[in-house]
Every structure is written in C-alpha cells, then in structure tokens.
Amino acid sequence: MHVVKIKPGREKSALQRHPWLFSGALLPVTGDPKSGDTVKVLDCNGRFLGWAAWSGESQIRLRFWSFDERETIDRDFFRRRLNRAIQQRAAMEHMGDAMRLVHGESDGLPGLIVDRYGEVLVLQLLAAGPEAWREVLCDELQALTGARAIYERSDADVRELEGLPLRSGLLRGELPAVTDITEHGLRYRVNVAAGQKTGFYLDQRANRQRVGGLARGADVLNCFCYTGGFSLAALRGEARSVVSVDSSGDALDAARVNLSLNGLPSERAEWVEADVFQYLRLLRDKGRSYDLIVLDPPKFAPTVQHVERASRAYKDINLWAMKLLRPGGHLATFTCSGGMSAELFQKIVAGSAWDAKADMQLIGRFTADIDHPVSLNFPEGDYLKGLLLRKV
Ligand code: SAH
C-alpha cells in the first residue's frame, strides 16, 4: 500500500471532501504507485485524509474513493457505491427507461459514468481509477441491473490527460439490433456505438419537456439539434414549424428517424446541415424570425483556460438569436462548459442582449436533470447551466 502525504496547508479541500487533489499539493512520494492504484492519503502530520486512486499522468493526481479510514477499496466497495447510485434513482422510473445511473464524482465514483438505455448500459471510464477497476465494475453492474449488454465508450478526449488510450466496444452481452428509449412519452433511437458521448444527451431531458411546453403555435429554431431532442418536444407541443440545425449529417439522419418513430408531422420539420454561426447570419439576411429559439451548443470551454474564446462564441450566437426572436418570443440558451460559471454566462448573455438592442427578461433557469446530481463538495460537477429568456 502506497502512502501519499499532502503539503502543509494543502489538505483543506480533502477535509471538505472535495474529490480531487492536484499534483502540486503532494509531497514527494516514496515508491512508485502505478496509475489506478489505491493509495492512502495523509496530511503532513500523518493524519488520515482518505483513500484515493493514483493518476500518475494527470494534473489531477488523486481522486478520492472514500474519506472513511475503515473502508476497504475492493469489489464490495464498488458494489455498495453502484447499488447506492442505482437505488437513489428508483423514484425516477416514470421519466422513461433511459437514465444516468452513475454520475462520477457526485455519486462517489470519480471518473465513472454509466448511462442506461433500456436494457443496454453504456460505460465511460474517464480516469485511471475506474480504468483499473473496469472488470469489477462491469461484473457488478451486470449483477445489479441484469443489463443485456454493457458497451464501453471510453473515447472521450479527457482520457488523454490521464495517459489512457481512447477505447470503445462491447464489454458484456450483445447489443440489440436497435436501442430505442422513451423519454416523457417520446421515442428516440440511440446509437450507443457511434453516437456522440454515450449516445444521447440525457441531461437535457427535463429541459426538453419544459421547452416543448412553450411551443404551441410557435415557429421554432433549434440550434445544435443533435438527434432532434428539442425539435421533437416542440412538435409534440404543437409547434407550427421547427427548423433544426446541426453540423453533423449523421445526427440529422438520426433525428429524421426519431421524428418518424413518433408519427409527428414531418411537413412541419426542416432539418438543416450547417454551421450555426454562419446559419444564424444567413437567416437574418433572409429576414426570418422565430417565436422560440433553442441554443444548446457543445462545450466551448472545457476548462477555465478556454473561457475567453468561449465567451466570444456564446456572445455571438446569443446575439444573433436575439435578433431573430420576435417580440414576446422565448430563448432557451445553454452552456455545458464546466469552465464557465452561471454568473459569467448570464453576464455574457446580457452583453448579447445589449449589442442586439433587445430588451430581454429572465424567466427561468435550467440545470441538468435529477439523475445528474451535483455533490455540494464538487461544484465543478455543475456543468450544465441554462437561461430561459423572453423578448419584451
Ligand atoms: N440539444 C441536443 C444536444 C446538442 S449537442 C439534444 O437535446 O440532444 C451539440 C450538437 O452541436 C452536436 O450535435 C454537434 O454535432 C453540434 N455542433 C457542434 N458544433 C456545431 C456548429 N458549429 N454548428 C452546428 N452544429 C454544431
């Protein structure tokens, strides 16, 4: 068992149960822990702080599994943590048959994401800790859920920061020919092998439903539509027309399939493969306007280092969307950038309104849905923020 000591004064975050410790907080380590090994973490006086996974390549050198000295990090530990996460979601079954079962740090399992799509589980191992426990995690997940298949999508770029290879493929069972899910009564086909992330953006579930509730009679513009989540919600909400824009042709093909799975009126739906930054300007040149606009772009600021460039991008799309919005119209605008605070995002959007000469009211806020908890010890987990605005 390797023992890691923390520099004097740098133990505070661990005492507050923050799950990460950065390399700069550590005293020189005796021995040579391997990435993924469990280490015992002590303060400089030898007081116990926690059990953590060692990530030799990452700036985030330690991720805590437990702050309880009596706990052993073994198969039973992972079974207990997985079971706890799954049991906590039992009351959410009415939302549909797709759900985030394990949300990393905030579920006490740093670096592990598990999404359930019907009988299929999709696993993302985003750090050296869960990577080392891959087989155990698979065994226990299968035993706890009875899943028909477990598919790995550890092909996220953050793995490179851990010195881990990008990897995806089937781990257990076999994939059904198609994986269809139901979300608040709408059916979506999820491509777990080739879709983005784990296949679907479950975090926006409640927000899709809420935005759909504003769509009656509206001309809707859904920017960054992916497989049509907000578009279908708007059509079910009796939108008059929905224009959906994405740069991915594959996503748009999947969106068309989703539309037909629900028997929604295809003559009201237009799918456009384009770059949103350019397309918003084109719509303005054509003199178009809308009653409801959704902006759900990808992460422009993965970390705080990218915030400045990201700010310009958010400002730009929000400005053009506000210009395209009719008086009385609604804008649902999101950021999923971990590096951007809710305060900063609101400031940027206020700047867009100023430059667009649009008088905008804030009438609501969005977060990720309730299967994506945010531990109060881990504010970094609060990545999805959105504003619901109305043009006066
Ligand atoms: N709102 C969606 C999720 C959006 S994910 C849902 O509810 O499911 C972000 C999407 O933006 C991805 O589908 C990606 O293909 C698309 N995208 C990224 N950059 C883009 C750009 N510059 N223009 C248009 N689409 C873009």
Could you tell me if the CB of 55 is within 6 A of ligand 1?
Answer: no
Q: What percent of the chain has pLDDT over 70?
A: 100
Q: What percent of the chain has pLDDT over 90?
A: 95
pLDDT 10s digits, 6-40: 999 999 999 999 999 999 999 999 889 999 999 99
Q: Whose CA is nearest to atom 21 of ligand 1?
A: 275
Q: What are phi and psi of 187, to 5 degrees?
A: -100, 135
Which atom of ligand 1 has the smallest separation from the CA of 334?
1
Q: In whole angstroms, what is the distance from residue 138 CA to residue 340 CA?
A: 33
Cβ atoms 24, 385 nearer than 8 A: no
State in Å: Cα 131 to ligand 1 middle.
28
Residue 1 has pLDDT above 90, yes or no: no
Q: In whole angstroms, what is the distance from residue 88 CA to residue 92 CA?
A: 9
Q: In whole angstroms, what is the distance from residue 201 CA to residue 190 CA?
A: 10
Residue 376 has pLDDT above 90, yes or no: yes
Q: How far is CA 311 from the centre of its chain?
A: 19
Could you tell me if the CB of 226 is within 6 A of ligand 1?
Answer: yes
The two beta strands, 112-117 and 120-125, are: antiparallel
Question: Within 13 Å and on the Cβ side, how many CA atoms surround 132?
Answer: 23
Q: Using the Cα atoms of residue 118, residue 262, residue 389 and residue 248 in order, give the sign of their dihedral.
A: positive
Q: Whose CA is nearest to atom 3 of ligand 1?
A: 226
pLDDT value, residue 338: 87
Closest C-alpha to 390, from 327, 345, 320, 347: 327
Could you tell me if the CB of 298 is within 6 A of ligand 1?
Answer: yes
State in Å: Cα 250 to ligand 1 middle.
11
pLDDT 10s digits, 259-316: 999 999 999 999 999 999 999 999 999 999 999 999 999 999 877 788 999 999 999 9
Task: Tell me how far apart the terminal alpha carbons of the chain are, to the nearest angstrom.
Answer: 63
Could you tell me if the CB of 197 is within 6 A of ligand 1?
Answer: no
pLDDT 10s digits, 58-77: 999 999 999 999 999 999 99
Burial of residue 141 (number of CB atoms within 10 Å: 0-12, 13-18, 19+): buried
Q: Whose CA is nearest to atom 9 of ligand 1?
A: 298
Q: Measured between alpha carbons, how far is residue 356 from residues 286, 302, 390 in Å?
A: 17, 27, 14
Closest C-alpha to 67, from 28, 116, 17: 17
